[in-house]
């Protein structure tokens, strides 16, 4: 069901239906896919592999936020040493590549310079069809990277190409981005507590 599908006279009802939409979208996630994503990231962090993230617009902010919560948050109170880099964060490089070459290749060009087989690419796209994200997925697949796609709407090409698709069923950009942000946070916090001494978990703030 599309949201909103009618005009709302007050924010109270709008917000309640927004929250209901978020609840349905988060419930649509495949638990097995979440487990695979967590396992892939933990292996990458334990093996010293690089994890690259990317997205556009609001999804770029989630890609950038992932660096903070996984490099700092996931590694608190344990021995994990995540190596995470957002391909959406360097505005000088992004604009140079977009201006001189093609915006569709801004992520591929960075991967071709930085990534190695066995590294992980996490893409974030509400539609799953952002061209630069899809090209990054294809490049990663062809060069031996493991790929995780956070997608909404119908999933799009990025979900089809990914080794693990974290697809939430929503056609609302805000709800989709909220679910993707929650996935990012949940993965970081889950990996943190999984690598901590059991007796520390209850006494720490997450």
pLDDT of residue 44: 98
Tell me what pLDDT residue 1 has: 63
Q: Furthest-apart CA pair in the chain: how many Å? A: 54
Which strands sit side by side in the sheet containing 146-151, from one edge to the other?
83-86, 50-55, 120-125, 146-151, 164-167
> Residue 121, Cα to own-chain centre: how many angstroms?
9
CATH architecture classification, 31-195? 3-Layer(aba) Sandwich (3.40)
Tokens representing 136? 């990054």
Q: In angstroms, how far is the first alpha carbon of the chain from the final one? A: 34
pLDDT of the residue at 135: 98
Query: Which pair of structure tokens corresponds to residue 87?
Result: 């391909």
Distance CA 93, CA 97 (A): 6
- Spans of all domains in the chain: 31-195
Instruction: Judge if pTM exceeds 0.75.
Output: yes
Spell out the per-residue pLDDT of the chain, length 206, in tens.
689 999 999 999 999 999 999 999 999 999 999 999 999 999 999 999 999 999 999 999 999 999 999 999 999 999 999 999 999 999 999 999 999 999 999 999 999 999 999 999 999 999 999 999 999 999 999 999 999 999 999 999 999 999 999 999 999 999 999 999 999 999 999 999 999 999 999 999 99
Q: Return d(Cα 206, Cα 188) in angstroms, integer.
A: 10
> Helices 173-194 & 58-68, crossing angle to 10 degrees?
10
The per-residue pLDDT for 51 is: 98
Backbone φ and ψ for 10, nearest 5 degrees, come out as: -140, 150
């Amino acid at each position: 069901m599309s949201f909103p599908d009618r005009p709302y006279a007050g924010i109270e009802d709008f917000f309640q239906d927004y929250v209901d939409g978020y609840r349905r979208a988060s419930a649509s996630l495949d638990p097995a896919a979440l487990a695979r994503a967590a396992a892939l990231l933990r292996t990458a962090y334990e093996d010293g592999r690089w994890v690259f993230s990317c997205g556009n617009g609001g999804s770029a902010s989630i890609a950038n936020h992932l660096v903070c919560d996984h490099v700092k948050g996931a590694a608190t109170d344990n021995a994990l040493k995540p190596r995470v880099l957002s391909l959406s964060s360097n505005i000088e490089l992004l604009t140079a590549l977009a201006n001189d070459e093609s915006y569709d290749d801004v992520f591929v060009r960075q991967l071709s310079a930085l990534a190695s087989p066995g590294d992980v690419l996490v893409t974030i796209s509400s539609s799953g069809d952002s061209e630069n994200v899809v090209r990054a997925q294809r490049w990663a697949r062809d060069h031996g990277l493991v790929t995780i796609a956070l997608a909404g709407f119908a999933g799009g090409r990025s979900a089809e190409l990914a080794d693990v698709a974290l697809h939430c069923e929503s056609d609302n950009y805000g709800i989709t981005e909220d679910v993707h942000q929650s996935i990012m946070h949940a993965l970081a916090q889950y990996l943190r507590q999984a690598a901590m001494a059991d007796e520390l978990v209850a006494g720490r703030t997450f």
